Structure 1
Amino acid sequence: MTARLSDRSPQVPPEELVDEMVPPTMFDEVSFDSYIPDPNEPSQSAAVASCRQFVERARGARAGKRKLFGKKTPGQGIGLYLDGGFGVGKTHLLASIYHEMPGPKAFATFVEVTHVVGALGFTAAVDRLSDHSVICIDEFELDDPGDTMLVSRLLTELTARGVSIVATSNTLPGQLGEGRFAAQDFLREIRKLAAVFETVRVDGPDYRHRDLPPAPEPHTDAELAELAGKTEGATLDDFDELCKHLSTLHPSKYKALVEGVTLVCVSGVHPAPDQTVALRMVVLADRLYDANIPLMVSGSKLDEIFTEEMLAGGYKKKYLRATSRLLALSRFAESTN
């Protein structure tokens, strides 16, 4: 019988969350040298240069300054903010910075950082991260003012202790020409860090959709069951049952939920009924993408999960990113089966 994600209930001790703050496996081998800038987008080459400079400066900040009696204390941490559209290689650059910096260090999405603070408590999170050389935060989000201010307070404490911060975020596609919209919002929300951060634009088309066809056609339920049954390590879930199961798990456990899975199959996919379900799907999409787990579905196409009403609301940025990633995983699945 094919396994189901809905039958898994992983347990993740809070103290292990910091140890799990590492880049997704698909970025294990990336470097600045392996980033290939688009020749038509000079901002990408400039971003690579800025990231290299950040590493040099961040190492110097962590080295600290000589004090009286020979004791060293860390200098002020520095910050870099990579602002741009979807799929232009910002995560590649972020992971490259992580690999170049000395340990201890951390790499996590904005959502994962909020989960760590929630699980450990603010003071314990600061203590656990204050000896790090760098905190790399992917997809810094502005749609929840409470979470944004919580993380900004965390970063303020950490930079004061010599920890450097590098973050990425997505500018909405329709606002790419409007002058660093996301960066301005970001810097306004974390005003205490504004003087620390250098903002760098990274422009270009979404590499996940370059010269690619539209969303793959969904399979039939029978085809999906057959594919799952013949694939070792695959899971097969009904969409509604999976959504119900996700509601019982803290999002910090979604990574463990899909660990070891080789193919995720979901039958009966349809538009998310509400924002709560949609936001859980965003987190699941990120964890599947991080683990490079192919995805196959029956029912609706993957670019129909988030409704037009949802895409017109405040979470548009999240939904577009999730759609981009789900389609990439679906195309990957089709190419390997």
Structure 2
Amino acid sequence: MAGEHVDVGRFAERFGDAARRSGFELDTAQVSVVDRLAQLGAEIPRWRGPFGRQPRGVYLWGPVGRGKSWLMNVFYETVPTDRKHRVHFYDFFRQFHAAYSRHRRKPQAVDFAVEELLDNFRLLCFDEFHVHDAGDAMLISRLFTSLFEKKITLLVTSNYPPDGLLPNPIYHHLFVPMIEKIERTMDVVELAGPRDYRGRSWSGGPRSRFETGVYVWPGRDAQLRDVGLETPSEEETTVLDVGDRRIRALAARDDLVWFDFFDVCDTARSTTDYLILAGRFTTWVISGLPRFEEVGRDARQRFANVVDILCDKDARLFLVAAAPLDEVLSGDGLPIDIGRIASRLSLLSAVSPGEPDRSWKETG
């Protein structure tokens, strides 16, 4: 489809067609977003830069479960250009950080890193964008400034409006100039329809691996066997190399890795560590999941990061917990992204006392 000029009406129709193939109709809020995305999709192939008028990007935000990522996917598949790139922001920022490190001795290291990763791209789609860490925020500001200066049009999805980025009141003011630049450079579009589509198979095909995961409590041996898990023996305990660091695993069996919560979330770990491990293992078991009120803020946030990454990498997740999910995700000082994390964990089947095997939910 590269090079094909598509008018706004035809582009919008393709969203409706994709929805019907997946077994649903677009709701009113989604139709409003489709109108703006169709306009952008029609403008991209007509842009002849650097002298033509650059299409204005879109910052699409709203609560979890409203279909932001699905709309981005359909847009990306439909827009008729080869000069496009879609990526989860976690993944891109890890790649960018590595490229920036390679060029850090150069005066314009950020620009060199962007050119290395995005040379010749005109459209960049960032899914699940957020800014929580003050240290990352400054580098993200420089990244976005470079993207704007290089006239790369952005489509961004987020659970937060621009002024909700870096929400910590101690640091928020540091990111305000970038928030203002985002609002000047992009159209901020909210998707906040009344319907929550969590649990729906947006593709119309089989469920993802993540959706076939299981939440088990309290995790008796018989419950674990019912869902196909065998409790690790002491002899299976191993240490895995993750970059220049190491992490203890209760077991590593082919493409399955089994961690204790405190080893994977209550020690100094970065999202890069989790991305490396998610690339190595497609099935994860995390046992000993405590109530959030019993652990510190950093451990809770790392757990949120793990869930995000495993869901986005389409890994299968088994959680062995001390209590039902609503009790685990309770208390003060919850992660900023707790709504999204609860949404994603609600996709898992549940096995609890008196319910020996509910590991395979019906689709539909």
Deviation at residue 79 of structure 1 after TM alignment: 0.9
Residue 322, structure 1, aligned to residue 341, structure 2: yes
- Residues 139-187 of structure 1, C-alpha deviations (whole Å, 9 max, x = no match): 222434553453243223223323110111215xxxxxxxxxx245468
- Residues 15-34 of structure 1, C-alpha deviations (whole Å, 9 max, x = no match): xxxxxxxxxxxxxxxx7332
Q: SS in structure 2 opposite 1:292?
A: coil
Q: Is the 8 A contact 2:216 2:223 kept in 1?
A: no
Structure 1 residues 237, 86: closer, same or farther in 2, change over 3 A?
same
Residue 106, structure 1, aligned to residue 85, structure 2: yes
Q: Is the 8 A contact 1:106 1:135 kept in 2?
A: yes
Deviation at residue 53 of structure 1 after TM alignment: 1.5
Q: Distance in 2 between matches of 1:170 and 1:95?
A: 16
Q: Is the 8 A contact 1:266 1:297 kept in 2?
A: yes
Residue 335, structure 1, aligned to residue 319, structure 2: no
Deviation at residue 257 of structure 1 after TM alignment: 1.2
Q: Which structure features the higher share of helix residues? A: 1
Deviation at residue 95 of structure 1 after TM alignment: 2.0
Q: Is the 8 A contact 1:133 1:164 kept in 2?
A: yes
Structure 1 residues 326, 242: closer, same or farther in 2, change over 3 A?
same
* Structure 1: gaps spanning 5 or more residues: 1-30, 66-72, 172-181
Residue 255, structure 1, aligned to residue 268, structure 2: no
Structure 1 residues 160, 58: closer, same or farther in 2, change over 3 A?
farther
Deviation at residue 41 of structure 1 after TM alignment: 4.1
Structure 1 residues 251, 216: closer, same or farther in 2, change over 3 A?
closer
Tell me the equivalent position of 2:170. Answer: none
- Residues 243-265 of structure 1, C-alpha deviations (whole Å, 9 max, x = no match): 257x35x4124233123645422
Tell me the equivalent position of 2:98. Answer: 119
Deviation at residue 86 of structure 1 after TM alignment: 0.7
Q: Distance in 1 between matches of 2:177 and 2:222?
A: 50
Q: SS in structure 2 opposite 1:308?
A: coil
Say which of 63, 67, 83 aligns to 2:61.
Answer: 83
Q: Is the 8 A contact 1:295 1:326 kept in 2?
A: no
Tell me the equivalent position of 1:45. Answer: 31
In the superposition, the TM-score normalised over structure 2's length comes to 0.65
Q: Distance in 2 between matches of 1:64 and 1:290?
A: 33
Tell me the equivalent position of 1:290. Answer: 312
Q: Is the 8 A contact 1:115 1:252 kept in 2?
A: yes
Q: Distance in 2 between matches of 1:120 and 1:98?
A: 25
Tell me the equivalent position of 1:35. Answer: 19
* Structure 2: gaps spanning 5 or more residues: 1-13, 101-109, 166-175, 201-213, 232-252, 352-357
Q: SS in structure 2 opposite 1:106?
A: strand
Q: Which moved more, 1:86-95 or 1:298-307?
A: 298-307
Q: Is the 8 A contact 2:59 2:186 kept in 1?
A: yes
Deviation at residue 321 of structure 1 after TM alignment: 0.9
Q: Distance in 2 between matches of 1:89 and 1:201?
A: 12
For the pair shown, which has the larger CA radius of gyration, 1 or 2?
Answer: 2
Q: Is the 8 A contact 2:274 2:309 kept in 1?
A: yes
CA RMSD of the aligned region, Å? 3.5
Q: Is the 8 A contact 1:136 1:165 kept in 2?
A: yes
Q: Kindly provide the amino acid, as one letter, of the partner of residue 34 in structure 1.
A: A
Structure 1 residues 135, 104: closer, same or farther in 2, change over 3 A?
same
1:99-248 alignment to 2 at 5 Å?
Answer: 99-101=77-79, 102-121=81-100, 122-128=110-116, 129-171=118-160, 182-185=161-164, 189-204=178-193, 205-208=195-198, 218-223=217-222, 225-226=224-225, 227-229=228-230, 233-243=255-265, 247-248=268-269
Q: Distance in 1 between matches of 2:318 and 2:136?
A: 33
Tell me the equivalent position of 1:309. Answer: 332
Structure 1 residues 115, 304: closer, same or farther in 2, change over 3 A?
farther
Q: Is the 8 A contact 1:74 1:162 kept in 2?
A: no
Structure 1 residues 290, 330: closer, same or farther in 2, change over 3 A?
farther
Q: Is the 8 A contact 1:188 1:194 kept in 2?
A: no
Q: Distance in 2 between matches of 1:325 and 1:207?
A: 11
Choose between structure 1 and 2 for higher RCO, CA contacts under 8 A separated by at least 6 residues.
1
Q: Distance in 2 between matches of 1:97 and 1:39?
A: 16
Q: Is the 8 A contact 2:258 2:285 kept in 1?
A: yes
